Structure 1
């Protein structure tokens, strides 16, 4: 018999998803915060809001789950925060994820090699590493993985959901955290309604696919680091490369 009823688990997951979205994109309403005066203030405020939502979700989930002992290692282990087999939980999923971006990685390596030759072996490699660190902040994937994987998947499994049902249900809720892109495309970037809808539809489709993959990694490894590293890596790489454009020719069909 499931330790948590199905309606309670689903309602809790929906509530956490909505709370994450609302507090992140409407902080002036939820937390009564003033409007950000600069981009730096905006990013700091988003970090604080995401942290508040994540901590609240972790506490809420811990009380809902049938945890027999409140020992720190046991509670953290429920959320996939463990030290056993850590390197396997980090290395194997990252290598598996990199296969999806084989075309992109080869293209970037060729561009990096070409830049290195043109600069006479200068600091292009260091600049590439710096750009990765600057454009792939870890806090956004960390809060999303804690809420949408570490909190929701244990709840769904304890409610009696099958593994594959949980794998495909969490990404649907995960996609809610990216619905704000439609507003940004339609209002801020002044795109047409149809074009914004198509772009956001593609993004949401990719988000659902990645969310299913991340959920699989979390369940298969039992480590939060597995989907977290994959999330950071995919955020940096973007959509997989479908073609490569050279200086003189264009080679289509470089599938990844």
Structure 2
């Protein structure tokens, strides 16, 4: 990628990113600390309050970028394009990153498949008909799995609100700021997750207070979570810069939140570990080829998008 002209001072870009990360966390506590609202009557009310708070902080961050980013003229300034919100090449931006991300979960997917096979064997042993009938019965049960999830407030937090607001703030807002500040692409990919991790430090005190863990144990739990967020944050930043689409890291974020941590090892199921290793090797091999910028953009020369995805070398 061509070097940025550094039209935005580096300290301004960094300070703006830190402010957005801290503001994202601070708004979560605004109802009780600032507005002095009474404690929520239920966990659902508590979550809805947080949904409103992160929505406000995301909107403030998006609007702030409009004034901070050094757009020289209206011609240079595509409001939605700044944040990677585009409709062109949308199916590529959804399908390819999703398939790429799923490779890291090959072990998990194999484990789920083995679970389905075990359920079919159990049904067959109970004399419930041939394979086709068992598959039909299992598929008929799918709505009973999905509907309770869709009505669960945690479903909306983990698969909708958290991915959408976090990708808006920590990718769509921060990456353009850092690139315009003159940071190299690889520096941005490594730096952005640091701000992303700052937004998760508040979980340590919540775990410490809620589960009554010792400070050491709470630190170890959060340390593992922060390690995962740094790795995922780097990957999400990579996707955003390579594709120039916000939807690419967004679908990856949703998928990872749904799947949880990849399954690496299961006792007496060596096939799971083998699948994980094969999936990881394939993931690394396809990481650059499947995110070629010309697959997600009309042209790759003289691109003026803030992400610089079109001019990645």
Q: Same fold (TM over 0.5)?
A: yes
Matched, 1:21 2:19: no
Matched, 1:75 2:79: yes
Instruction: Supply the distance in 1 between the matched residues of 2:144 and 2:264 (Cα, whole angstroms).
Output: 25
CA contact 1:22–1:30 (8 Å) conserved in 2: no
Q: 1:80 to 1:206 in 2, by over 3 A?
A: same
Deviations 1:65-107 (CA, angstroms, capped at 9, x unpaired): 1234558x92101100000111111111101100110000111
Instruction: Supply the distance in 1 between the matched residues of 2:35 and 2:6 (Cα, whole angstroms).
Output: 36
CA contact 1:116–1:124 (8 Å) conserved in 2: no
Deviations 1:20-40 (CA, angstroms, capped at 9, x unpaired): 011124432244443212111
Q: Compute the displacement of 1:205 (Å).
A: 0.5
Q: 1:112 to 1:70 in 2, by over 3 A?
A: farther
Where in structure 2 are the equivalents of 1:2-41 lying within 5 Å?
2-41=6-45
Q: 1:114 to 1:54 in 2, by over 3 A?
A: same
Instruction: Supply the distance in 1 between the matched residues of 2:223 and 2:144 (Cα, whole angstroms).
Output: 34
Q: Describe the SS at the equivalent of 1:208.
A: helix
Q: 1:30 to 1:163 in 2, by over 3 A?
A: farther
Q: Compute the displacement of 1:176 (Å).
A: 1.2
Q: Describe the SS at the equivalent of 1:207.
A: helix
Q: Which has the higher Rg, Structure 1 or Structure 2?
A: 2
Q: 1:83 to 1:108 in 2, by over 3 A?
A: same
Instruction: Supply the distance in 2 between the matched residues of 1:56 and 1:32 (Cα, whole angstroms).
Output: 22
Instruction: Supply the distance in 2 between the matched residues of 1:26 and 1:203 (Cα, whole angstroms).
Output: 24
Matched, 1:126 2:130: no
Gaps of 5+ in 2: 124-133, 278-313
Partner of 1:84: 88
CA contact 2:159–2:257 (8 Å) conserved in 1: no
Instruction: Supply the distance in 2 between the matched residues of 1:116 and 1:181 (Cα, whole angstroms).
Output: 40
Matched, 1:244 2:266: yes
Instruction: Supply the distance in 2 between the matched residues of 1:147 and 1:167 (Cα, whole angstroms).
Output: 15
CA contact 2:107–2:273 (8 Å) conserved in 1: no
Q: Compute the displacement of 1:61 (Å).
A: 0.6
The answer to which structure, 1 or 2, has the higher relative contact order (CA under 8 A, 6+ apart) is: 2
Deviations 1:18-61 (CA, angstroms, capped at 9, x unpaired): 00011124432244443212111111101100000000000001
Task: Give me the TM-score of the superposition, normalised by structure 2.
Answer: 0.75
Partner of 2:293: none
Where in structure 2 are the equivalents of 1:67-216 lying within 5 Å?
67-68=71-72, 74-115=78-119, 118=122, 120=134, 121-122=137-138, 123-130=140-147, 133=150, 134=152, 135=155, 136-216=158-238
CA contact 1:149–1:218 (8 Å) conserved in 2: yes
Q: Which moved more, 1:30-39 or 1:232-241?
A: 30-39
CA contact 2:265–2:273 (8 Å) conserved in 1: yes
Instruction: Supply the distance in 2 between the matched residues of 1:97 and 1:70 (Cα, whole angstroms).
Output: 36
Instruction: Supply the distance in 2 between the matched residues of 1:154 and 1:131 (Cα, whole angstroms).
Output: 39
